[in-house]
Each structure stands twice: as structure tokens, then as C-alpha cells.
Amino acid sequence: MFVLVMRTSTKTALAVMFVITSSASLMQSGVFSSLTQYSSVFSITNDVYASKKNETNTDASPSSIPDKKGIMMHDYGGEIGKVYNPLIVSQGGQKYYQSYMNDNSDEKAKEHFINTADWLVKNAKEKETNDIDYSLWTYNFPWPFYDGLDPPYSSALAQSAGIQILILAHNMTGDDKYLEAADKAFGSFLVEYDKGGVVTMEGGNDEDDSGESKGNNGDDSMFLQEISKPGYEKTYVLNGHIFSLIDLWNYYKYTHNENAATVFNKGLNYLKDNLWKYDMGIWSYYDQIGNLASNGYQKIHTEQLAKLYEITGEPIIKRYSDKFAGHMAVTENITIGVSFAKLGEYDESIAYFDKALAVDPDNTAALNNKGLALAKLGEYDESIAYFDKALAVDPNDAYSLNNKKSTLEELK
């Protein structure tokens, strides 16, 4: 039970395609059309790890527009149009604050920052659940990136980002209204998802990829939900959880609220026990309902985990930060290798495929692409050996099967 504590080159022509991704992601991402078995051109599939659904917007973009007081709005177009998104509001405030910190003569940035903090104070909706008084910044428009999410709904990420703005405003002005509003908003992390809060208590005895039993029994594990609405499917968005944890750590350092330390530790326990669920072997998942991270979110996962490791020193956090960074390096090297291959620079392309294989020796895309480049150079026996290596990893890999077949026909 929570108690809210305030403050405290070859002439032959193999008719197949280079690919960037391995067959696993082709099957799971759902974003690829079928490829013709034989083709006279090389092909690159861009952003091959894009998710099946568009992810939550966590960055102010050119569609973010300030109102007359400088408070950042977001224009989604269509029927939604220009609205106040609590997260975008807070992100705008963060930019104003940084501008003022960089130049203390920038009074306009300071004014807009304070206006943003005041908006957060004014627009926090008072709630009460099980004797916990708290507040939420609610979304008052249908979320365009998850089906069926109609207003009102809330977000742990928006809550933590708003709290950050409020403690910065308190530190700048000394006005206790900002700290009181931050404390009240933090209360949402003490209320469960199905009761109107933004967290879910976790537990159980799952197994990780090594078969080791994982999970906490009881209430020692918690997830901070980026999308929160009682009755709506829990999405378990990874970046939202980690961003919120980092924000709450900053809140704890400022206020010494022991409940914030408790939530942080339970959220950290979830990651220690469940990060393996976000690792598909060659990329990370954006959430736990089947969406893969885009390139941008893969980078965010890597950087967030690295920051969290700086705070906690937990080895498993660094392990996955490094692992996700390795995924990105593999994809980048394969992409560059395919670009060289399309130019007919096969020796150069092989060098990049080798870089990818140095990180992930079983990557079927790198194995297949190196095999195809070798075939283009007339190194047919070695080429077939690489197709066989790919097929040893995935006997059903269509690209390697087709390329091996084409290479054997060239040998005839």
C-alpha cells in the first residue's frame, strides 16, 4: 500500500535482390510486400524496422506550434487539428528553459517557460482514488497512433515530463505552487492503471532467453504506462517507461520524496526482469503488443538505457544498451554494404557486410548479401558457402535459397 509523502565486378548477372534485413524481421514486422524471385536490379528496403503502427509522438516537430503565450500546441491535421498535447506542452517548456539557461538575457524564453508551467498547474485534473489525492494531465483528443484510444486518457510519460517542468519552475521562482502541483501529479504513479493511475504492478515467473526464471513475486515490479486508460489494452511502451523513470529520479533528487524512490526502484526491477522481452535478437520492440521500434526509437532505447546505467550501475541495463547499439551498427553496415553493391562496388560492400558479421555472425541478411556480392565477383564456391551459412541459421530463408539456386545455375 502506498502512502503519499509530500516533498520528502562479373559478367554474369544473378537475378536476385540484396536485402538489408534478415528473414526474421521480414516475417514479424509486417511492412514488406512480397519480392519477385528474380529481378535485374538490386534493391534496398529503407527503414526496415519500422513498426506496424506509428509510435507515440515523443518529440516536438515542425507540426508543433506555440499559442499566443508560447505554450506549445501540436497540429495533427485532419479532424483532430491543433490541440494541446500535455507531453508536447512540456517538451516546449524544456526548450524554453534550456534557451534561458543558455542566455539569461532571453526574457521571452523565460516568460514562455513560466507560461508553460502555469498551464500545467491550471490544467491538471484533480483525482482521488483510495484516499490518494492526485492529478492528471488528460488527453482530450483521439490518439491517432493506437486504434480505439478515445479521450480521456493519460500518460506516465506526460506526467513525468510535466513534473520536470514544475520542479524547474519552482527552482527558478521559489513559488511553492509549482512544487505542490508536481507532488500532486506524482500521486498518479501511486495509483494503478485500472483505477485511473498510470502504473501497473507486475510479477510472476517468466523465463528469459537463457531459460532462467525471471520476474518478481509480489509487488516489487512496476511498469509506467505511456498510454493509460482503464479498460484499454496495456501497451508497455519501452521508451515511455524509461523516460519516466529518469524523470522520476530527477524528481526524487529534488524533493527526496521516498515514494518516488520506491516507484523508481520498482520500475527498474521491471526492466531488469523483462528487458529480454523487448529483444527480438536483431532489433528491439517498441512495445509489447507486436510493434518493432523504428530506427529512431532503436537509438532512443540505446541512449535511454545508457543514461539509466549511469544512474544505477546495473550491469543488465548496460548489457541491453550495448546490445541494442550493436543491432543499429549491424543494420547500418548492411545498409552501406547494399549501397555499394548497387553501385557495383562489390569489394567495398563485402567489407561492410564483414563489419556486420563481426557483431552478429548469424545475421542472415549479412550472410546472404556477402554471398551475393561474392557471386557477383565470380567467387561462386565461396558464395555458396555463405548462402549455406545463412540457411543453417534459417533453413526457410527465401533470399538465401533463391540466391544459392541462381548461383548453382550460373556454375552450370
- Which overall architecture, per CATH, does domain 9-50+294-412 show? Alpha Horseshoe (1.25)
C-alpha cell at 124: 491538471
Q: What is the mean pLDDT of the chain?
A: 84
Residue 283 has pLDDT above 80, yes or no: yes
Q: What is the pLDDT of residues 189-238, one digit of tens each?
A: 999 999 999 999 997 545 555 544 454 445 799 999 999 999 999 999 99
- CA-based R_g, the chain, Å: 25
Pairwise pLDDT comparison (36 vs 204), residue with the higher score: 204
Can you tell me the mean pLDDT for 253-280?
Answer: 97
Comparing CA positions, the residue from 267, 288, 272 lying closest to residue 198 is 267
The full set of domain ranges for the chain reads: 9-50+294-412, 69-289
Residue 411 has pLDDT above 60, yes or no: yes
Q: What is the pLDDT of residue 320?
A: 97
Comparing CA positions, the residue from 305, 366, 280 lying closest to residue 51 is 280
Q: How is residue 74 annotated by DSSP?
A: E
Pairwise pLDDT comparison (19 vs 260), residue with the higher score: 260
Residue 33 has pLDDT above 70, yes or no: no
Pairwise pLDDT comparison (61 vs 233), residue with the higher score: 233
Residue 351 — pLDDT band, cuts 50, 70, 90? very high
Q: What is the pLDDT of residue 214?
A: 52
Single pTM value for the model: 0.78
Q: How is residue 161 annotated by DSSP?
A: H
For residues 8 and 216, give the distance between their C-alpha atoms in angstroms, rounded to a whole number: 27
Q: What is the pLDDT of residue 397?
A: 86
Distances (CA, A) of 61 to 58, 76, 130, 302, 311: 9, 11, 39, 21, 29
Residue 400 — pLDDT band, cuts 50, 70, 90? confident
Q: What is the pLDDT of residue 209?
A: 52
